[in-house]
Amino acid sequence: MKNKEQILNRLRENGEFVSGEELSEQLHISRTAVWKSVNSLREEGYEIESATNRGYRLGSCPDRYSPAEISAGLETEFLGRNAFCYASIDSTNEEAKRKALSGAPNGSLFVAEQQTGGKGRLGRSWASPAGTGLWCSVLLRPGILPLRVSVTTLLAGLAVDRAVRSLTGCNAKIKWPNDIVIGGKKICGILTEMTAEVDRIEFVVVGIGVNVNNTAFPENIRDKATSVRIESGKNLRRVSLLQEILIQFETLLKQNAESDPVFWEEYKKCCISLGRRVGFTRRGAGVTGTAVDVSPKGELIVELEDGTRENVTAGEVSVQGIYGQKVE
Amino acid sequence: MKNKEQILNRLRENGEFVSGEELSEQLHISRTAVWKSVNSLREEGYEIESATNRGYRLGSCPDRYSPAEISAGLETEFLGRNAFCYASIDSTNEEAKRKALSGAPNGSLFVAEQQTGGKGRLGRSWASPAGTGLWCSVLLRPGILPLRVSVTTLLAGLAVDRAVRSLTGCNAKIKWPNDIVIGGKKICGILTEMTAEVDRIEFVVVGIGVNVNNTAFPENIRDKATSVRIESGKNLRRVSLLQEILIQFETLLKQNAESDPVFWEEYKKCCISLGRRVGFTRRGAGVTGTAVDVSPKGELIVELEDGTRENVTAGEVSVQGIYGQKVE
């Protein structure tokens, strides 16, 4: 660990003034080295008070993705314990897949201040400007069949929903399968990708993009997109949101939540698609009906005009009243 | 294209003697450069006859994986047109996935003289010694749902089966889903891997490992493994086998063979599993029955003792009498 990180840890653990002498002795470095590290931390945005004869005290920490900030107080066992942080990257999902091929462990986290080629579902792009959002991916190496991946992605959706609710009090809802919306506009998209044999997962990458502190959106998505900041009226510390998502997601994964009726109850309560008119595509043709339930496999159950029910697994489902969608 | 490859192409196209002067003029290089290239080709194993006043004539070509040898006479549209050849690599599937992430096109071929970390299904290792086998992977970027991948892997199996039959006359059979066996022993394994969203394939890598000219096997697999050489009594040119597999596989892919009953008829005729007692694992417990059919989705249909039928999609199926398996 670098001097800087060690000093940060000491100040964080202590909470009060720690003298330069004490730091110098504990870390076996010179007083000058302590002073240099403190200045370097200040340049990174850490508020560090200094007082003659008392030493240094940590004030506020920057809302910045670094392994030190992410791990500080993170109560997970494996999710996010191994964090890769980037100022800018093409796509955290792509980076996660590359690192997975060279052996990154289960639970690895990839997070960037900015994505230059952020991806949405079905090959679409995802706007990921610097500094405003949470653009991250987690790598899972679960021993599950490829079919179960669609449930994993629902767990991630509920984890984000829970985190946004608990940190902001906003009435965040899930548009099946895993978009998070507030007031009918999207704050979060989730892109799950897997690398698998026909009957064995090698790894799953769950990409989570949350509009956190954006104050405006490009014209072409203004009707559909919003941010936690716009909806709650306050800036949210992005690192805190990330930590809460990691904790919630790990909890759901460890519980095998999908085999517990309580999970489905909570998911359905949050799922804004249910009871609404929805449209989807079947063999190239548009079909409409009413979303009535979610199956234990994570499929959306849609009741058609003629009363028959269809389990929808894949592709695009539009929901009346969400993102201004009209379903005829 | 290098001088060497251009000279090789000219000699191959011509079939007879081509004078050094003609080569020098056509390729705009010196006579000395022609002579150097010819010598370099000879060092690579090409037999090139030279005669005073007549020039050079191509004799036999080495059985060596190079883009020039693979493309010579290859009648495919996309499969193998872009060939990456390696003297030694960890695993052609791993290399294909890495190259896929950096944009390699549909149909790219990855082939190695030797794999140092060859992989079989379910994370097992696959012995891939230098010079004796066909160890290759093809990259497909199909616009299909993840569920259809299991059918793609059956097409690859039939392609290998057809190629081995037509080049050797051996009675090669398919052990469902896609092992190729002769006389109850395995000559080929296929490992299909995909990278996908829940509802959209990004790419599929089909790894094909064929024991071609092996004359012996390590003791631990001697009961289960054989080679084309051992079964047919003759050396097969590996590049020719590769070309035939590529042609057959591309034909089946372009035909969307799985929607044609004729494909299923041929597949089932070649499938040694049908009519035999098989064992498989269901939720951790061993189940036995008789394989009676293959479904249009590529599942093995097994009739259990009580007369009910089960569609087996995943995991391990053992077949009585194949690889010395006993099914109780």
Which of A282, A281, A283, A278 is closest to A294 using CA atoms? A278
Average pLDDT, chain B: 90
Same fold, A3-58 and A277-319: no
Are A175 and A190 contacting, i.e. CB atoms less than 8 angstroms apart?
Answer: no
- Residue B87, classified by CB atoms within 10 Å of its CB into exposed (0-12), middle (13-18) or buried (19+), is exposed
CB A211 within 8 A of CB A133: yes
pLDDT of residue A128: 84
User: Rounded CA gap, B261 and B171, in Å?
Assistant: 22
- Would you tell me how many other CB atoms lie within 10 Å of the CB of residue B73? 10
Burial (CB < 10 A; 0-12, 13-18, 19+), residue B106, is middle
Q: What is the rounded CA–CA span in Å between residue A246 and residue B70?
A: 49
Cβ contacts of residue B256 below 8 Å, gap of 6+? Answer: none
pLDDT at B218 over 90: no
Return the HEC string of A57-111.
Answer: EECCCCCCCCHHHHHCCCCCCCCCCCEEEECCECCHHHHHHHHHHCCCCCCCEEE
A156 vs B68, residue with greater confidence: A156
**Nearest partner of B189 among B211, B172, B204, judged by Cα:** B211
Q: Taking residues A157-186, report their average pLDDT.
A: 95
Q: What is the per-residue pLDDT for B315? A: 60
Q: Is A315's Cβ below 8 Å from some Cβ in B?
A: yes
- The candidate with the shortest Cα–Cα distance to A110, out of A21, A242, A18, is A242
CA-based torsion, A288, A290, A291, A293: positive or negative = negative
The tokens describing B198, both together, are: 């829940």
What is the third-level CATH fold of A277-319?
SH3 type barrels. (2.30.30)
Minimum distance, in Å, between the CA of residue A69 and any CA atom of chain B: 30
The average pLDDT across B211-227 equals 91
Q: Are strands A317-319 and B48-51 parallel, antiparallel or unpaired?
A: unpaired
Average pLDDT of B191-215?
Answer: 91
pLDDT one-digit tens code per residue, B141-192: 987 666 678 889 999 999 999 999 999 999 999 999 989 999 999 999 999 9
The residue ranges of DSSP E strands in A231-321, in sequence order, are: 277-282, 285-294, 300-304, 309-312, 317-319
Q: Are B198 and A153 an interchain contact pair (Cβ–Cβ within 8 Å)?
A: yes
Q: For chain B, what percent of residues have pLDDT higher than 70?
A: 96
pLDDT at A269 over 70: yes
Interface probe for A, chosen from B197, B297, B312, B316 (most Cβ of A below 10 Å), is B197
Distances (CA, A) of A76 to A21, A73, A253: 34, 9, 12
Confidence band, pLDDT 50/70/90 cuts, at residue B134: very high
What is the helix, strand, coil percentage profile of chain B, to 5? 35, 30, 40
- Judged against a pLDDT cut of 90, whether residue A142 lies above it is answered with no
More confident residue, B107 or B221: B107
Spatial distance between the Cα atoms of B288 and B294, rounded to a whole number of angstroms: 16
Q: Check whether B314 has a pLDDT greater than 70.
A: no
- Distances B22 to B14, B38, B99, B240 between C-alpha atoms, Å: 12, 14, 40, 30
Pairwise CB contact (< 8 Å): B97 & A94: no
- For residue B258, what are the contacts with CB-CB under 8 A and spacing of at least 6? B148, B151, B154, B155, B264, B296, B298
**Alpha carbon of A74: minimum distance to chain B alpha carbons (Å):** 29
* Across A17-46, average pLDDT: 93
- Structure tokens that stand for B126 in this block: 């696959």
pLDDT recorded at residue B199: 76
In angstroms and rounded to an integer, the radius of gyration of the C-alpha atoms of chain B is 22
**Is residue A145 less than 8 Å (CB to CB) from chain B?**
yes
A141 to chain B, any CB pair closer than 8 A? The answer is no
Structural element, H or E, at residue A181? strand A179-182
Q: CA of B256 to nearest chain A CA: how many angstroms apart?
A: 16
The closest of B128, B38, B43, B127 to B87, measured between CA atoms, is B128
How far, in Å, CA of A201 to CA of B193, rounded?
9
Are A203 and A98 within 8 A, CB to CB? no
* Percent share of chain A, pLDDT over 90: 67
Q: What is the interface size between A and B, counted as CB pairs within 8 Å?
A: 67
Q: Write down the pLDDT at residue A314.
A: 62
Q: What chain B residue is nearest to A149 in terms of C-alpha separation?
A: B198
pLDDT computed for residue B146 by the predictor? 66
Q: Using CA atoms, how far apart are residues B324 and B328, in angstroms rounded to an integer?
A: 13
Write A140-143 long-range contacts (CB < 8 A, 24+). Answer: A140/A106, A140/A107, A140/A203, A140/A204, A140/A205, A140/A206, A140/A253, A141/A100, A141/A105, A141/A106, A141/A201, A141/A202, A141/A203, A141/A204, A142/A106, A142/A201, A142/A204, A142/A253, A143/A201
Contacts of A192 in chain B (CB under 8 A): 197-198
Give the model's pLDDT for residue A243. Answer: 97
Q: 3-class SS at A249?
A: helix
Between CA B34 and CA B29 the distance in angstroms is 7
B304 Cβ under 8 Å from any chain A Cβ: no
Percent of the residues in chain B that have a pLDDT greater than 90, as a whole number: 67
Mean pLDDT to the nearest integer, B216-231: 91
| Residue position matching structure tokens 């994964």 | A253
| Backbone φ/ψ region at A315: left (φ over 0), alpha (ψ -120 to 50), beta | left
Q: What is the reported pLDDT for B147?
A: 65
pLDDT at B327: 66
Of A247, A72, A225, the closest CA to residue A159 belongs to A247
Does residue B21 register a pLDDT over 60? Answer: yes
Tell whether the model's pLDDT for residue A133 goes beyond 60.
yes
Report the C-alpha gap between A257 and B22 in whole angstroms.
75
Nearest-neighbour CA in chain B from A63: distance (Å): 31
Name which of A122, A154, A197 to mutate to probe chain B: the one with the most chain B Cβ atoms within 10 A of its Cβ.
A197
- Interchain contact A42–B (C-beta under 8 A): no
Record: contact B315-A199, CB cut-off 8 A: yes
pLDDT of residue A147: 66
Enter the DSSP assignment of B315: S
B194/A198 Cα distance (integer angstroms): 8
Q: In angstroms, rounded to a whole number, what is the distance separating the alpha carbons of residues B140 and B153?
A: 11
Q: What is the mean pLDDT of chain A?
A: 90
CATH of B67-270, one of 3.40.50.150, 3.40.50.720, 3.30.930.10, 3.40.50.1980: 3.30.930.10
Q: How far apart are CA B297 and CA B148, in angstroms?
A: 7
Task: Give me the pLDDT at residue A1, please.
Answer: 66
ipTM of the complex in this document = 0.70
Residue B253, pLDDT > 80, answer: yes
- The pLDDT score that the predictor gives to residue B148 is 76
For residue A315, is pLDDT > 80?
Answer: no
Please answer whether residues A17 and A57 qualify as being in contact, where contact means their C-beta atoms are separated by less than 8 angstroms: yes
Average pLDDT over residues A102-110: 95
Q: What is the mean pLDDT of residues B257-284?
A: 91
Q: What is the CA radius of gyration of chain A?
A: 22
On whether any CB of chain A is under 8 Å from the CB of B164, the answer is no
Please give the pLDDT value at position A307: 93
In this predicted structure, the answer to whether residue B328 has a pLDDT above a threshold of 60 is no
Residue range A229-253: mean pLDDT, rounded: 95
Enumerate the domain spans of chain A.
3-58, 67-270, 277-319
Q: Is the per-residue pLDDT at A29 higher than 90?
A: yes
Contact A150 B198 (CB under 8 A): yes
DSSP B235-270: ---HHHHHHHHHHHHHHHHHTTGGGSHHHHHHHHHH
Provide the β-strand partners of residue B311: B301
pLDDT digits (tens, 9 = 90+) for B26-85: 999 999 999 999 999 999 889 999 998 899 999 988 888 999 899 988 999 999 999 999
**pLDDT tens digits for range A56-70:** 999 988 888 999 899
> What's the token pair of residue A94?
């792509």
Contact B122 A199 (CB under 8 A): yes
Q: Is A311 on the interface with B (CB under 8 A)?
A: no
Residue with tokens 């051992």: B230
| Domain B3-58, architecture per CATH | Orthogonal Bundle (1.10)
CA B143 to CA B155: how far, in whole Å?
16
